[in-house]
Amino acid sequence: MGELDGRVAVVTGSSSGIGEATARRLAALGANVVVNSATSVEAGEEVAASLPTESVYVQADISDEAQGQRLIDATVARFGHLDVLVNNAGWTTVVPHHDLDGLTDEILRRTFEVNVFGTWWLTRAAMPHLRASDHGNVVTITSIAGIRPTGSSVAYAMSKAALNHLTVLLAKSCGPVRVNAVAPGLVDTPWTTDWTTLHEAVAAINPVKRSATPDDCAEAVLALVRNRYITGQVLVVDGGTTVVT
């Protein structure tokens, strides 16, 4: 018997990186997982097929409200209920913070469409089902960029700050559904593979002497899913980077 046997989890952006690692950890504990991505269909299908539980892949771009609703509807149609929502899908592009003109309206809009509006729409669509569950909870992947003046762009940092505050607001308003966030520092994912200089800089200053891995972040998600008395918290997973900067 797995600890999460019978529970159903949606993990957005789970064809790779933090989302994939989280999907695998949830399934290893017995949860049925809905794997999702906006575009990486083949990779998402492969992840779902490789999980040890009854798991499926559903393509949906959460920045489109209708597609997000379809993701939730497809989950409930397949499994009959929903217990866990992990809001991992996100979008960014690198724009130096001093380059105000480089942060175009298009970049700003797209960043908020995915990171903030998409997360809001999906969580709102899922909430009635989470409220009907004895184990309903939401975990959103944010960033230390929402806490400190850092991150891949000003828009990205703004969006993650919004998600951190949304976490607290929803926790206050939606109980007994628990709502928490995991705020990683720099994570070694396919997206950051070429950021060698930044990985080296983080390793040089933080107490743990390395960047985070997707598994580090997935473990934090699992801790929040498993503890039934934590809500409204933003759990920083950064190897101590924010302690020394």
Catalytic residues: 156
Q: Going by C-beta distance under 8 Å and a sequence separation of 6 or more, which residues neighbour residue 150?
A: 144, 157, 245
CB 142 within 8 A of CB 164: yes
Q: Are 115 and 68 in contact (CB under 8 A)?
A: no
- Pull the structure tokens for residue 91: 């979008």
Could you tell me the strand order of the sheet in which 56-59 lies?
Answer: 56-59, 32-37, 8-11, 84-87, 137-141, 178-184, 234-237
